[in-house]
Amino acid sequence: MKILSVVGARPQFIKAAPLSQKLRGTHHEVLLHTGQHYDYLLSQVFFEELGLPEPDYNLGVGSGSHGRQTARMLTGIEKVLLQEKPDLVLVYGDTNSTLAGALAAAKLQIPVAHVEAGLRSFDLRMPEEINRVLTDRLSALLFCPTSTALRNLRAEGIGKGAHRVGDVMVDTLQKGLRLASQRQQSALLDRLELRPRSYLLATLHRAANTDDPRPLSSILAAFNALEEPVVFPIHPRTRKAIKALGWKARPKFRLLKPLPYLDNLILQKNARLILTDSGGMQKEAYLLGVPCLTLREETEWVETVEAGWNLLVGSDTESIMEGVRSFRPRGRRRSFMGGGDASDRILSILERFTERNL
Ligand code: UD1
């Protein structure tokens, strides 16, 4: 079986790593990087750490408006598909690279398989929600991480080809925990002069929080008012927005560049609490047993909220501060994302599908 995998942004490197390695064991994988993320710390470092192979193609599309970025990807992906003629195209998550991969393949009548299908925030103002809904509609195989995701698809009349397989991010997390040695963990905390469970880890990058100065200032005001040290690795789009605001961080801040996967994992594991608008970090916090405040009004990972380990605080200064002061989850953490074998399950479904259809 010849599979062409499309990746382009940081979370996709994390999701693709376990499956790519398995695919290469017995099949032919062509890896296409759209170049949506191009900074070393948002791209290359993940390939090195997670053992992803060098991409066979890098389209180097870079940044731009949604239309321009997606259009450049479409043109580039189509060209590669015509040349490589894969049996199936594999796309991950909900970025512009996901949608471009799915659309280019569907128009050439190449079956699309979507990893992390069925997630919904039910808010079409989010670029990721548009990408998810359209990609799911175009996919022949839909790999759902949770039963909620499978239910969401059924509610939209998409049942055929949908499978609940668990979350590939669990596979990567388990490997990451094996790789991050105790020595590496202590060295990182020492370097940042932090003790376990005595600091907060914050990340922020969603367009709704960064592109409008109001929620951004409100979130930053809360961060600055907190008493504990805050570790804040800053995504490039957020860095630009913060600079434009002229915000000054208090001295207890550890303002960092975007972190490699293992460093981020270590800092998550040892934090007292995580504040984030990232989907991946809400899940990782839950898996690691670290309380999470989500800086959004809704989440796709509703199970983490229902279990009592994730609290939606939005961007309001007071709600964030109150959450930091009083949120203390105690409930049991049910495993709802599978046990780390999602990539094995996906591989066997892909094999059955291609045997039947080719
Ligand atoms: C994208 C995804 C988002 C995902 C996130 C992970 C979409 C619509 N959004 O958002 O779902 O959670 O990746 O990070 O696909 N930039 C750099 N260097 C880079 C990449 C980007 O400086 O390597 C800057 C550029 O100025 C760019 C901005 O970041 O304009 C936004 O980048 P883009 O890839 O468009 O979206 P993300 O915010 O990263």
Instruction: Report which ligand 1 atom has the smallest distance to the Cα of 237.
Output: 29
CATH class, domain 178-326, is: alpha beta
User: Distance between CA atoms of 160 and 295, rounded to whole angstroms?
Assistant: 35
Q: How far away, in angstroms, is 334 Cα from ligand 1 center?
A: 32
- Looking at per-residue pLDDT, the higher value among 252 and 119 belongs to 119
pLDDT one-digit tens code per residue, 315-357: 999 999 999 999 999 889 999 999 999 999 999 999 999 988 8
Of the candidate ranges 2-16, 43-57, 174-188, the one whose mean pLDDT is the lowest = 174-188
2-167+338-357: in CATH 3.40.50.2000: yes
Write out the catalytic residue numbers: 205
Dig out the tokens for 89 from the structure: 């195209």
Q: How far away, in angstroms, is 352 Cα from ligand 1 center?
A: 35
Q: Is the CB of 10 under 6 A from ligand 1?
A: yes
Q: Are 270 and 289 in contact (CB under 8 A)?
A: no
State the span(s) of the chain assigned CATH 3.40.50.2000: 2-167+338-357, 178-326
pLDDT one-digit tens code per residue, 189-241: 999 999 999 999 999 999 999 999 999 999 999 999 999 999 999 999 999 99
Report yes or no on whether pTM surpasses 0.85: yes
> Which of the listed residues 37, 129, 295 should we mutate to test ligand 1's pocket, taking the one with most ligand atoms within 8 A of CB?
37
Other CB atoms within 10 Å distance of the CB of residue 252: 12
User: Distance between CA atoms of 283 and 286, rounded to whole angstroms?
Assistant: 5
Residue 283's SS3 state is helix
pLDDT one-digit tens code per residue, 130-164: 999 999 999 999 999 999 999 999 999 998 999 99
> Which of the listed residues 40, 44, 47, 63 should we mutate to test ligand 1's pocket, taking the one with most ligand atoms within 8 A of CB?
63
User: Distance between CA atoms of 146 and 159, rounded to whole angstroms?
Assistant: 14
